[in-house]
A and B are shown apart, each in its own frame.
Chain A
Amino acid sequence: MKFEVTQTSSYEYERPVRQSINQFRLRPLHDEMQSLESYSATIDPASPTYGHVDYWGNYVETFYLWGEHHNLSIETVSKVETRPTEIDSTLVLTSEQKQELKSHAFKQAYAEYLVDRDYTIISEELMKQETNELWAQSRDELDFVVNLNEHIYNTMTYVSGATNVLTTAEEVLYQRTGVCQDFTHLMLALCRYRGIPARYVSGYIYIGENSAFRGDAATHAWLEVKLPGIGWIGLDPTNNTIASEQHIRIAVGRDYSDISPLKGVYIGGAHTLGVSVSVKNLEERVSG
């Protein structure tokens, strides 16, 4: 599917701000799962941005505002074509695949995606308890992640405002409420606990008019797991689905702290941030 995504992030400062340095990760990825056809970022007050690709492959832009300003806005416009997923969740892993998954070489190659992070630390006892039954019932790791995706969807309640950007997976597990970021951290922890490399994905979801998809005003988070011989598989526990054409990926990392979409340091007072996103389906025909 082809989309045009416009995101506007507006800061309003309590008092005038100066010497502000900001960093953002808003340019969608360009890889085998989606192609980025065009992208632009406009800063107001006007400023050039300096880009680099980070360790995880995400595009990061930095800009500096020296003089006094009361407002700051960053507008990005991206045209992206997504491809449908080729993952068949009923696929049965071969014994070679299962063996490789447990191999030293595989664990070494994906070491970053198997480790506990501040956001994903949960006591072993709790993780065992939460996954034991599913693990026993699942035919293999692919089946397990699909079941776990459904399990989180069914046993967690989507409540905005119940958690914040600092909420950890263990807290989510206790509360059993949260938003997409929380469900993602929880599922990352549980996949890694079972030896399956998993990474955080930030992006947009195309909800459309008749879709039942949940997502926070179109900015969304889900995860990808890596199984041998298969590419990264996108799983969206907030919607109990395998990520496909309607998921537009911006950045990947070990957890939220690696993909932080916007951050900055400045001299001045408090701010409020407003983010609005519109995802337009460029293939949608006007019915009539």
Chain B
Amino acid sequence: MFNSYKLGEFFDEMLQKDRLPRDYCRPFHERLNVVDSRDLQERYELAQSDFLRQGITFTVYSENEGMERTMPFDFVPKIIPPDEWAELERGLMQRFDALNAFLDDVYHEQQILKDGVIPRDLIVNCQHFFEQVAGIDLPRRQHIFMAGIDLIRDDTGEYRVLEDNLRNPSGLSYVFQNRYVMRKVYPEFFNQYSVQSLEQQFSYLHSSMASLAPQNKSNPTIVLLTPGIHNSAYYDHSYIAQRSGVELVEGRDLVVRDREVFMKTARGLKQVDVIYRRIDDEFLDPLEFREDSLLGVPGLVDAYRAGNVSIINGIGNGVADDKAIYHFVPDMIRYYLNEEPLVKNVKTYLLRYEDQLEYVLDHLSELVVKHTNASGGYNMLIGPHASEEEIEAYRKQILKNPSEFIAQPTIKLSRLPAFKGDRFAACHIDLRVFIFGGEKTHVFPGGLTRVALKEGSLVVNSSQGGGAKDTWVLEESPVNV
């Protein structure tokens, strides 16, 4: 099954250059070599139908048409040894704390802008900067309740941050489902491994939400505000609400009266203290943002301003996870924490700067260029894979408004084996790690490993043919052999 497996110039997370498995992968690798491919095929189908049965789907948008799909699951997990995880955890907590400090600063004194560390215009004229919430003091000064930080490993195996998601990162429910299906369909693969359990995570999640209640209120009423069943991440919303024991509501279930938020219940109005919202900022409150929004709740921002309700993640967080602002996160870490960043960024060119623009235009065929307002792998140029016409068309787009673009070298994403029926193929992966703020910053063990199942493809986004893998963080105890 591994005969045709190619290592190439990438970091392979299972096999070393000499094609021997890394220590912590050896038991798993040995099992793959003895297992029967027909049996694997059957179990693969079983796993897929399990996802479909549970309705774990997401919606793919193309040409304005939505299509529901399941995310393909590959059973070869990403395995993270304890020391590697401990180091990552420290780096991610550092990044999280700096991003949070940055958000509190730009919505208050803007000291980092006054000190010229980050160009002021980039922040105050960012489409995600919502001056409507400037000056509002948040409980524990926490703007981030849940961050989803996307990590990749370069050709030397070093972890790097690809993207910070501080608005409404989705995917947490998949992490649980991947583990559930893995345990159910491939139980014996866990033998000889002691993997950090996910059982406790929902209680962490709940206490994190509760610790962000206004005035430290005990036993706060917490709701998850969803745009509704037509949203592509609705499954994520309902799963999280159900598992963490909070009410799932839509905008029409809430009302603001004299600066307090209430939920309509069969027994009348009940005051709400914490809103984990999965509605974008612009749609939250028609009084302050888009007047045509029917998803939101009029007066929500006024209640937030009065300190009578917590809205998590905070309003206006997009100013810290914008693709152009990403470039400055290492500077934020130095500025607020006086530390060197433990997890590095990927080299990023900002096309707002003349010299960087010039360089990028000269090297389009080698670079990945992204529009700062697009997400999910849409509207980007992958230079090495693009035709000359595509490059020229994109060049025109860039020249129209260079400051809206960033560029990065093509990253040699690390790879892991993925099952291809009768063999394993090396496919590129990345990892979204979830971090919770609150009384204490907590990193969720593991996360969502996404895999580009199309061989050679670098796009792991589920909307573009990506799949998922289980992620194992190993316990401190050594592997039993």
A22 to chain B, nearest CB (A): 8
Decide: B258 and A64 in contact? CB cutoff 8 A. yes
Indicate if A62 sits at the interface (CB-CB under 8 A).
yes
CA distance A24 to B72 in the complex (A): 52
CB-defined contacts of B113 to chain A, threshold 8 Å: 108
B130 to chain A, nearest CB (A): 9
Interface 1/0s, chain A 105-119, versus B by CB < 8 A? 001110110110000
Nearest residue, chain A, Cβ from B287: A265
Indicate if B454 sits at the interface (CB-CB under 8 A).
no
Indicate if B119 sits at the interface (CB-CB under 8 A).
yes
Nearest residue, chain A, Cβ from B130: A55
Indicate if A84 sits at the interface (CB-CB under 8 A).
no
Decide: A111 and B120 in contact? CB cutoff 8 A. yes
A153 to chain B, nearest CB (A): 30
CA distance A264 to B288 in the complex (A): 10
Binds A, one of B78-86, B297-305, B388-396: B297-305
B311 to chain A, nearest CB (A): 16
Indicate if B131 sits at the interface (CB-CB under 8 A).
yes
Interface Cβ pair total, 8 Å cutoff: 57
CA distance A108 to B110 in the complex (A): 12
Indicate if A285 sits at the interface (CB-CB under 8 A).
no
The contact of B286 among A64, A108, A265, by CB within 8 Å, is: A265
CA distance A19 to B256 in the complex (A): 9
Indicate if B259 sits at the interface (CB-CB under 8 A).
yes
Known: A50-B259, A55-B135. A115 touches B121 (CB 8 A): yes
Known: A264-B287, A265-B286. A19 touches B259 (CB 8 A): no
B288 to chain A, nearest CB (A): 8
B372 to chain A, nearest CB (A): 15
Decide: B302 and A50 in contact? CB cutoff 8 A. yes
Decide: A112 and B302 in contact? CB cutoff 8 A. no
Indicate if A270 sits at the interface (CB-CB under 8 A).
no
Q: How many residues of B contact A (CB 8 A)?
A: 24
Decide: B120 and A108 in contact? CB cutoff 8 A. yes
Indicate if B112 sits at the interface (CB-CB under 8 A).
no
A32 to chain B, nearest CB (A): 22
CA distance A53 to B132 in the complex (A): 10
From 1 to 22 in chain A, residues with beta carbon under 8 angstroms from any chain B beta carbon are 19, 21
The contact of B298 among A21, A109, A112, A114, by CB within 8 Å, is: A21
CA distance A98 to B298 in the complex (A): 46
CA distance A19 to B302 in the complex (A): 15
From 67 to 95 in chain A, residues with beta carbon under 8 angstroms from any chain B beta carbon are none
Interface 1/0s, chain B 416-448, versus A by CB < 8 A? 000000000000000000000000000000000
CB-defined contacts of B363 to chain A, threshold 8 Å: none
Indicate if A177 sits at the interface (CB-CB under 8 A).
no
Indicate if A23 sits at the interface (CB-CB under 8 A).
yes
Indicate if B125 sits at the interface (CB-CB under 8 A).
yes
Known: A55-B135, A111-B125, A112-B125. A62 touches B302 (CB 8 A): yes
Top 9 closest A-B pairs, CB basis? Answer: A111-B121, A55-B131, A265-B298, A108-B120, A55-B134, A21-B299, A115-B125, A62-B302, A21-B298
B interface residues, Cβ below 8 angstroms from A? 113, 116, 119-121, 124-125, 131-132, 134-135, 255-259, 286-287, 291, 298-299, 302, 305-306
Assuming A52-B135, A265-B286, what are 12 further A-B pairs, CB within 8 angstroms? A19-B255, A21-B256, A21-B302, A52-B305, A62-B299, A64-B256, A107-B121, A108-B116, A111-B120, A115-B121, A263-B287, A265-B291
